[in-house]
Amino acid sequence: MSLSDIDDAARLKKINAALVDRVEQAMDQQRNAFSLFQTAISLEGQIRRRTDELTSALRRLEETNIELARQKDISERANRSKTEFLAAASHDILQPLNAAQLTISSLHDLQVSDQARAMVNQVERSLDTMNELLRTLLDISRLDAGVTTPRFTSVPIPPILDSLLSDLRPIAEKKGLRLRVAVTNDCVYTDRLMLRRALQNLIANAIRYTDRGGVLIGTRRRGDEISIEVVDTGSGIPEDQLEKIFEEFHRGPLSRGDANADTGTGLGLGLAIVRRLVTALKHDVSVRSNPGHGSVFRIRAKRSEAPAEPTGAERTKLIATPVNASLKGKKILVIENDPAVLEAMEGLLSTWGCIYKIARSCDQAVAAVDAAAWVPDLIVADHHLDFGDLGTSTLEKLFELLPSRVPAILATADASQGVIDRARELGVEHLTKPVKPAQLRALATHLINKAG
């Protein structure tokens, strides 16, 4: 049927409305499709711009990270160089201090008035403080550089504390503090010298920050571990400071009775070294404190059964000055290449009335010894000599040439384990510079009397 055959107006209206509706729907669909097309184009542009911005930001971030990595590498290399230099240069750093301590001892013996001796003693105390600070800084450098590595053995605890307390008890008594020990006869698997240094710092720190009461050093068995505890009745540590005390250069207020309170002595490095030492030993260190009532520092280490023999260094510290401490007329061969140390040693040996010869190298040492006419009673040798000669090698050669075994002391700033082990193999005593004259004299007298 065509439109001409439709004569019903109402029907025509309905058909017309339906056609209009279809046209409008078709137009709406076209408009929607075009709108979606425009939206898609707009979104694509936005995505492209955002992608370009993100790519540019990532590129800048990558360049920044590369620069940061480069600066970090430069900083680490500089820090490594500083650390390695300090660790390697300890010999040269400590030599002048050794010469100064030897010289001041000779100067003390030459004084005739009490006032002059008091002034010399004051200078000697300042040198001791400088020595302690230098050693602390060098210890940190060696630990950071990996130069100091543990040599684990089974170590009995009581002998370590006995030698420590012989040094620290006079300091505690001067402050009116009680220093008590309650330890089990146990051994721990550790490095003897590193553990001793950690305990020395903890005990000295406890004495320093305690005004009244005292310090107790004790041990507890905890399964297969030994807990070594240092308990004080000092000022205590606030809770928010318990971690900070192990950081470098962090110092709490000194006790009123501490001799260093006015001088400002100390760099706040004692506990920083303790943490480094304990970490290197794979032990555990912790602290518990009650402000106003004291603190408890605790080192936990693996328990071991087999006792170990004392090292040469610790045997040396336990040697008391003999009754017959005179070295007058004793023949001493000094093998040393540092001019200042040589001059100081000559003054010291002259004061003691010794007969001495000086050598700066292995060849000079061999030439100084005449098996027929001049055999020394004692040899005191540095390790690093002229022409690259080593004190241990020089001593070995001299032992082969001399008609009888002569006691010897290897006095050197080189405290590396290799040198200590080599001295032990040769059967000679190892003293770490700077050497205290009284310590040198006591050990020299002991060795000569023992050989005689």
- Residue 301 sits in a domain whose CATH number is 3.30.565.10
Q: For the CA atoms of 150, 153, 154, 157, what is the dihedral angle to 10 degrees?
A: -40
Q: What is the pLDDT of residues 46-55, one digit of tens each?
A: 778 888 888 8
**Residue 243 burial (10 A CB sphere; 0-12, 13-18, 19+):** exposed
Last residue of a domain, one of 284, 309, 334: 309
Q: What is the pLDDT of residues 173-217, one digit of tens each?
A: 889 999 999 988 889 999 888 898 899 889 998 998 898 999 999
Among 70-74, 127-131, 258-262, 388-392, top mean pLDDT goes to 388-392
Same domain assignment for residues 288 and 326: no
pLDDT band at residue 30 under the 50/70/90 scheme: low
Same domain assignment for residues 292 and 370: no
Q: Can you say how many angstroms the Cα of residue 114 is from the centroid of all Cα atoms in its chain?
A: 39
Taking phi first (over 0 means left), then psi (-120 to 50 degrees means alpha), and beta for anything else, what does residue 264 get? left
In this structure, how many other beta carbons lie within 10 angstroms of the beta carbon of residue 411?
Answer: 26
The verdict on residue 426 lying in a domain is: yes
Q: What is the pLDDT of residues 281-318, one digit of tens each?
A: 999 999 998 888 899 999 999 999 865 454 444 444 44
The verdict on residue 140 lying in a domain is: no
Same domain assignment for residues 330 and 303: no
Q: What is the pLDDT of residue 102?
A: 76
Last residue of a domain, one of 268, 294, 309: 309
Same domain assignment for residues 428 and 342: yes
CA end-to-end span of the chain, whole Å? 147
Tell me the three state secondary structure of residue 303. strand
pTM to 2 decimals?
0.55
Same domain assignment for residues 410 and 435: yes
Same domain assignment for residues 179 and 278: yes
| Res 152 pLDDT > 80 | yes
Q: Please report which helix (H) or strand (E) contains residue 52, including its range.
A: helix 9-88
The verdict on residue 98 lying in a domain is: no
What is the identity of the amino acid at 74?
I
Range of the domain at 205: 150-309
What is the identity of the amino acid at 283?
H
Provide the strand spans (E) within 247-354. 284-290, 294-304, 331-335
List the alpha helices (DSSP H) in 89-191.
90-110, 114-145, 157-174
Q: Are strands 284-290 and 294-304 parallel, antiparallel or unpaired?
A: antiparallel
The verdict on residue 68 lying in a domain is: no
- Residue 329 sits in a domain whose CATH number is 3.40.50.2300
Q: What is the pLDDT of residue 219?
A: 93
Better pLDDT: 121 or 357: 357
Q: Can you say how many angstroms the Cα of residue 339 is from the centroid of all Cα atoms in its chain?
A: 30
Contact 436, 450 (CB under 8 A): no
The verdict on residue 43 lying in a domain is: no
Same domain assignment for residues 342 and 234: no
Sign of CA dihedral 147, 148, 149, 153: positive
The verdict on residue 46 lying in a domain is: no
Q: Can you say how many angstroms the Cα of residue 155 is from the centroid of all Cα atoms in its chain?
A: 20
Which DSSP letter does residue 382 get? -
How large a percentage of the chain has pLDDT more than 90? 22
**Residue 168 burial (10 A CB sphere; 0-12, 13-18, 19+):** buried
Q: What is the pLDDT of residue 99?
A: 76
Give the angle 247-248-249 at the CA atoms, nearest 5°: 115
Count Cα neighbours of 17 within 13 Å in the Cβ-side half-sphere. Answer: 6
Same domain assignment for residues 370 and 441: yes
Residue in the structure block whose two tokens are 């302690």:
132
Mean pLDDT of the 370-399 span: 87
The verdict on residue 145 lying in a domain is: no
The verdict on residue 9 lying in a domain is: no
Q: What span, in angstroms and rounded, lies between the C-alpha atoms of 342 and 153? A: 37
Q: What span, in angstroms and rounded, lies between the C-alpha atoms of 418 and 147? A: 11
DSSP per residue over 209-265, as a string?
T--SSEEEEEEEEETTEEEEEEEE-S----GGGTTGGGSTT--PPPPTT-TTTTTT-
Name, in order, each residue with C-beta under 8 angstroms of 69's C-beta and a sequence gap of 6 or more.
none
**Closest-CA residue to 411 (of 437, 377, 375):** 437
**Residue 426 burial (10 A CB sphere; 0-12, 13-18, 19+):** middle
Name, in order, each residue with C-beta under 8 angstroms of 307's C-beta and a sequence gap of 6 or more.
154, 156, 187
Name, in order, each residue with C-beta under 8 angstroms of 268's C-beta and a sequence gap of 6 or more.
248, 249, 250, 251
Q: What is the pLDDT of residue 451?
A: 81
Same domain assignment for residues 270 and 227: yes
Last residue of a domain, one of 252, 280, 309: 309
Same domain assignment for residues 279 and 167: yes
Same domain assignment for residues 155 and 271: yes
What is the identity of the amino acid at 243?
E
Q: What is the pLDDT of residue 324?
A: 47
CA Rg value for the chain: 39
Provide the number of structural domains found in the chain.
2
Same domain assignment for residues 160 and 302: yes
Q: What is the pLDDT of residue 50?
A: 81
